[in-house]
Amino acid sequence: MTLVRLGYAAMSMNVKNGSPSQTMTYTQFLKNEDKKAAISKLERIAVSNLTNCLRLLRHNAAHDIEFFRLSSKLIPLANHPDLANWDYLTPLGDSLDCIRSYLHRRPSMRIDFHPDHFVILNTPKVDVFKNAVKTLHMHKALLEGMGIVPEHRCVLHVGGAYNNKEKALEQFIHNWGTIPVPLQKMIMLENDDKTFTVNETLYLCEKIGIPFIFDYHHYLANHEEGEQWEDEWLRIVNTWKNSALPLKMHISSPKSEKEFRAHADFIEVKGFMNFLNQVKGSIPQIDVMIEAKRKDDALFALMAHLNEEPGIEAVGGASFYIR
């Protein structure tokens, strides 16, 4: 028997006017000749984004959803080089405190981030790497501001192959050694849909001692001939042995055969049940992040279908036991 908790990412289809990713482009920023006023507008947008995060957390609690990925676009232009001296955290203090207080009363809620695609740790370019580290510092500050222990809260892909995958993996290990330890402790790695497979990503996770995020859809889209995820499941589980958090994975379904890598609106139940029936009982708990276009609608639809499946025992509105 295994407990499965479902979560979704960043945005709700049901919380109206609740985007946590409102933004301002740098072009728009420059149109305001009063730089102080422009920064104040950025801060108002960020406060609005955090306010909507709290609304989303309340919505989740009302529906028994205990797993949620925060948007990484909470603070527009936070890492723009022309705003390097902007202290964006101070004006967000009250908003972060509100989230901290809310989460303090709900310690079972799991909250994390998936920083944007430009956070590349195996890049050979110094400026790209420095920007990635700077972005991770921002995520750490936000987590701490919300009262969330930062350890194992940021999911990343390995990065680019740069025409030589073995060299790219070694570049990751080289760059890893220069990352501050508190940032290293935040990071988990995920197999991707085009470049680094389950085995290649597991190699890195085992080498540097961090958790591996298994993305089932990515595996289907990108694996070596003969590679079977089932053969590596115990290795995947073992990467979580030193984490205070349960194993986490991602699920999504292909939009179509032609657009196989793109995410569908909802989750195809049969494939997910096949996976669950192969891993049930191998681990006490799995937290499953749904990456579907319809966000929480996809979660609700999946739970409705799962409730009709044999061996499923619902626990609230977004969790269940698989027997």
pLDDT in tens, 131-172: 999 999 999 999 999 999 999 999 999 999 999 999 999 999
Q: What is the pLDDT of residues 273-297, one digit of tens each?
A: 999 999 999 999 999 999 999 999 9
Query: Contact, 156 vs 121, CB < 8 A?
Result: yes
pTM of the full structure: 0.96
What DSSP designation does 263 have?
B
Could you tell me which residues come within 8 angstroms of residue 275 by beta carbon, excluding any fewer than 6 positions away?
Answer: 216, 251
Residue of 11, 30, 27 lying closest to 19 (CA atoms): 11
| Strands (DSSP E) found in the chain | 2-9, 67-70, 110-113, 154-157, 187-190, 212-215, 247-251, 285-290, 312-314, 319-322
Q: What is the pLDDT of residues 203-226, one digit of tens each?
A: 999 999 999 999 999 999 999 999
* Domain made up of 2-322: CATH architecture: Alpha-Beta Barrel (3.20)
- Banded model confidence at residue 33, pLDDT cuts 50, 70, 90: confident
Q: Which two tokens stand for residue 184?
A: 């290293």
